[in-house]
Amino acid sequence: MPHTILIVDDSPDVCSIVKTFLQRDAEFRICGEAGTGLEAIKKAEKLRPDLVLLDLKMPGMNGIEVASILKRVLPKAQIVLFSAYTDALGGTTLTTAAGIDLVVQKGSLADMAQSLRTLISRKWMSPVNDPSEPSI
Cα separation of 69 and 104, whole Å? 20
Residue 87 carries which DSSP code? G
pLDDT value of position 131:
39
Query: Where do the structural domains in the chain lie, given as residue ranges?
Result: 3-122
pLDDT 10s per residue in the chain (136 long)?
889 999 999 999 999 999 999 999 888 999 999 999 999 999 999 999 999 999 988 888 988 899 999 999 999 999 998 877 655 555 555 556 567 888 887 777 888 888 888 888 776 544 433 333 333 3
pLDDT value of position 105:
79
CATH topology of domain 3-122: Rossmann fold (3.40.50)
pTM for the structure as a whole? 0.80
Please list, in sequence order, all residues whose beta carbon lies within 8 angstroms of the beta carbon of residue 64, skipping any fewer than 6 positions away.
Answer: 56, 81, 94, 95, 98, 100
Distance set, CA 18 to CA 32, 55, 77 (Å): 12, 12, 19
Report whether 38 contacts 69 (CB < 8 A).
no
Q: How many residues does the chain have?
A: 136
